[in-house]
Amino acid sequence: MDYRRIARITGWLWIVTFVMAIPARFVFYGPVLEDGKNYVLGDGKDAMTLIALGALFEMILIVANIGTAVVPYSIHKRVSEPGAMGFVTARVMESVFIAVGILCMLAISTLRQDAPSGLDSALGQGLEAVYEWSFRLGPGFVVGIGNGLIMGWLMYKSELMPRRLAMVGLIGGPLLILAAVLVMFDVIEGGGAVQGLLTLPEAFWELSIGIYLIVKGYRTSSPYLAGPESSTVATA
């Protein structure tokens, strides 16, 4: 098994998730998120093209998301097969929420292009609200469980990455989950400063995974790279 190649591919997939996710939400979907209530009643194909680009970026994001769990699965399962499967499942569930958001944005784009007579702006506002909640529950909640807690625990236990770095994930995951719950109960503002601060450790952890795996690869000192026969104790 070429551990270095697996690490490099996985690292680049983590980087792709950043490259695809940030522009989609903050650039391409910008016109809708700024005025979702009245957006469907507007005209012009420029903004519709931006939505299509955002949807394309997020479809690539879904592929990269799942790839970050599937590509290293053969290594992760040596540490814990339930943990490895849990990470794959979490990535798939996150991608489902992202897909719901894509459908909302494309629906808004279609309504803007072929709006029936008597269309109310509340429909656009409703679709935007579904998109926002799909973002808060997917990248905002499930990520804390999968990327933060499960991935952090796998790396901490296996020492495939430095334990101090893995601790960032174990801290950032719960903070991300806490932020999502506080937004859900309207304790803090969604997308506000408090949520942003609580999100930073998790964002740093995910970016660190990509950079570390590309530059360093998995640590060869980890007993889980020695071979299946030396890793049987780790399957529990």
Total domains, the chain? 1
Confidence of residue 229 (pLDDT cuts 50, 70, 90): very low
Q: Determine the structural domain holding residue 133 and report its residue range.
A: 3-219
Quick: pLDDT tens for 94-111. Answer: 999 999 999 999 988 888
Of 5-14, 64-73, 104-113, 134-143, which gets the smallest average pLDDT? 104-113
Q: What angle do CA 95, 215, 209 make, to 5 degrees?
A: 30
Quick: pLDDT tens for 151-166. Answer: 999 999 999 999 999 9
pTM reported for the whole predicted model = 0.90
Q: What is the mean pLDDT of residues 194-202?
A: 96
pLDDT at residue 173 tops 70: yes
Classify residue 106: in a domain, yes or no: yes
Classify residue 114: in a domain, yes or no: yes
pLDDT of residue 30: 85
Classify residue 225: in a domain, yes or no: no
Classify residue 148: in a domain, yes or no: yes
Confidence of residue 36 (pLDDT cuts 50, 70, 90): low
Report CA Rg, the chain.
Answer: 20
Residue 45, CA distances (Å) to 33, 48, 120, 163 in order: 17, 5, 20, 50
The larger pLDDT score, comparing residue 64 to residue 38, is at 64
pLDDT of residue 32: 83
pLDDT averaged over every residue in the chain: 89
pLDDT at residue 73 tops 70: yes
Classify residue 133: in a domain, yes or no: yes
Task: DSSP for 31-71, please give it.
Answer: HHHHSHHHHTT---SHHHHHHHHHHHHHHHHHHHHHHHHHT
Of 12-26, 58-72, 99-113, which gets the smallest average pLDDT? 99-113
Residues shown for the chain: 236
